[in-house]
Amino acid sequence: MADQLSKVFTALSDPTRRDIVARLSVADATVNELAEPYDVSVQAVSKHLKVLEDSGLVTRTREAQRRPVHLEDNVFDLMTKWIDRYRQQAEQRYQRLDAVLEQMDEDEPTSREGA
């Protein structure tokens, strides 16, 4: 079984699901409301929601007769921590490169000195 982070990135690999997540970041919505802008069936949107649910990105609740879909923002913390770790490593590599380039500039004799 895949870990949650893999499920999240897999779920977000589809542009329709990314759009659904973007819309849910504004407000909860029903399946019918989420299906409105797409030229696909409600069942197709339901399948996309099932993938998002399996990844933990969304949950469905019941409010009387309404069944809104809710974005679970805590999953984004997991993604952010994973991305941040690699961003920090990349920053450290760039800082080391900057130091090497700066040292090379200092060690290089200026072209004006011999003139």
Per residue in 31-40, pLDDT (tens digit) is: 999 999 998 8
Percent of the chain's residues with pLDDT above 90: 56
Residue-wise over 24-58: b if at least 16 C-beta within 10 A, else e? beeebbebeebbeeeeeeeeebeebbebbbebbbb
**Closest among 83, 82, 26, 21 to 52, alpha carbons compared:** 21
Written as six digits, the tokens of 43 are 């069942």
DSSP one-letter code for 60? E
* pLDDT for 114 beyond 80: no
Note the pTM of the prediction, 2 decimals. Answer: 0.72
Per residue in 96-106, pLDDT (tens digit) is: 999 889 888 88
